[in-house]
């Protein structure tokens, strides 16, 4: 069964305090419109002060600027799955369909424990 929505996860592991990590990949082919983004972390305290060291881009288009804090688009598992995504169609239309996704995230040394994992989910539609 084919659905009109696809979710793709991009992950990175922060091994030590103040580390910068690159999270990148490609969006799912045949899903031409990226409609939402959400961030998750195995240690929620790690998001305190963490920021994007480079703009988060999809297909070369800036979605969030350098210095953006991912805690703004993060939520807990107590939020309904459909409500966990920041609706990026309110700020522009971003091409999916096998497009490049990239960001560098800078840790600020606030995690309770290292290493920890950052997941950024992209929601795309047909």
Q: How many domains does the chain have?
A: 1
pLDDT tens-digit map of 46-104: 988 899 999 999 888 899 999 999 988 887 677 777 778 888 887 777 788 888 899 99
Handedness of CA 45, 46, 52, 56 (dihedral sign): negative
Supply the pTM of this predicted model.
Answer: 0.87
DSSP 3-state assignment of 68?
coil
Q: Around Cβ 61, how many Cβ atoms within 10 Å?
A: 14
Domain membership of residue 34 as a residue range: 5-125
Q: How far apart are CA 86 and CA 38, in angstroms?
A: 6
The domain that contains 45 carries what CATH number? 2.60.120
Q: Around Cβ 111, how many Cβ atoms within 10 Å?
A: 21
Say if residues 109 and 47 touch (Cβ distance below 8 Å): no
């Amino acid at each position: 069964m084919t659905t009109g929505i696809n979710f793709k996860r991009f992950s990175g592991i922060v091994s030590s305090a103040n580390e910068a990590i690159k999270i990148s990949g490609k969006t799912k082919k045949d899903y031409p419109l990226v409609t939402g983004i959400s961030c998750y972390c195995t240690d929620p305290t790690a998001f305190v002060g963490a920021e994007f060291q480079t703009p988060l881009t999809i297909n070369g288009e800036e979605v969030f600027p350098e210095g953006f804090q991912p805690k703004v688009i993060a939520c807990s598992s107590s939020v309904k799955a459909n409500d966990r995504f920041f609706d990026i169609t309110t700020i522009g239309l971003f091409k999916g369909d096998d497009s490049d996704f990239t960001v560098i995230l800078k840790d600020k040394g606030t995690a309770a424990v290292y290493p920890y994992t950052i997941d950024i989910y992209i929601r795309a539609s047909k």
